[in-house]
Amino acid sequence: MKEIMAFIRLNMVNPTKHALGEAGYPSFTCSKALGRGKKTLATEALHVIVENAGSLPADKLGEALSEGVRLVPRRSFSLIVDDDQVEYAVKTIIRVNQTGHPGDGRIFVMPIAEGYNIRTGQKQMKESEMDG
């Protein structure tokens, strides 16, 4: 099994959860996240500089941009899938979130060693292992 973790824009939460449900992945976790990528700070600084006639403002925003500390709100999706479903799930997330602009997000895929159902205490296995 693998965990797919995707960090996406706030406005893409509903399209992403709808697409995951239609693709056969109705179970996932979505949570608030703060972060930034390489391009985010430069893009934000450029907009502020243009709006302020070529210089950063002498306020908290200008300070944050000049010091590189600004964090951007995002949403983090996490879902667990069988190994053979990773590519399809990742492509689904990319299809919905890809605009071609910086800040579209990131996806990470990590192995899951074990999983347990809290209610029953049973170890979770891939469907193919349960049949065998």
- 93-102 in b/e burial notation, b at 16+ Cβ within 10 A? beebbeeeee
Q: Are both 31 and 85 inside the same structural domain?
A: yes
Residues 66 and 90 reside in one and the same domain: no
Q: Among 12, 14, 17, which residue's Cα sits nearest to residue 29? A: 17
Residue range of the domain that includes 55 = 37-70
Give the C-alpha separation, 20 to 63, whole Å: 39
Q: Considering its fold, how many domains does the chain have in total?
A: 2
Q: What does the pLDDT look like over 10-69, one tens digit per residue?
A: 999 999 999 999 999 999 999 999 887 765 555 555 555 555 555 555 565 555 555 455
Whichever domain contains 27, its CATH number is 3.30.70.120
Among residues 50, 70, 90, which one ends one of the domains? Answer: 70
Is 30 found in the same domain as 81?
A: yes
- 42 and 102 housed in the same domain: no
Please check whether residues 30 and 85 belong to one and the same domain.
yes
Same domain, 51 and 95: no
113: alpha, beta or left, given left = phi > 0 and alpha = psi -120 to 50?
A: alpha
- Tens digit of each residue's pLDDT (9 = 90 or more) over 119-128: 999 998 765 4
- pLDDT band at residue 131 using 50, 70 and 90 as cut-offs: very low
Same domain? For 103 and 127 the reply is yes
Across residues 69-90, what is the average pLDDT? 91
CA distances from 89 to 16, 107, 123 (A): 11, 11, 23
Whether the CB-CB separation of 121 and 61 falls below 8 Å is answered with no
**95 and 106: one domain?**
yes
pLDDT of the residue at 26: 93
Percentage of the chain with pLDDT > 70?
A: 70
Q: Do both 28 and 14 map to the same domain? A: yes
Residue 88 — very low, low, confident or very high, per pLDDT cuts 50/70/90?
very high
Tell me, yes or no, whether 24 and 84 share the same domain.
yes
Percentage with pLDDT > 90 across the chain: 59
Q: In a 3-state reduction of DSSP, which class is residue 50? A: helix
Q: What angle do CA 22, 31, 99 make, to 5 degrees?
A: 60
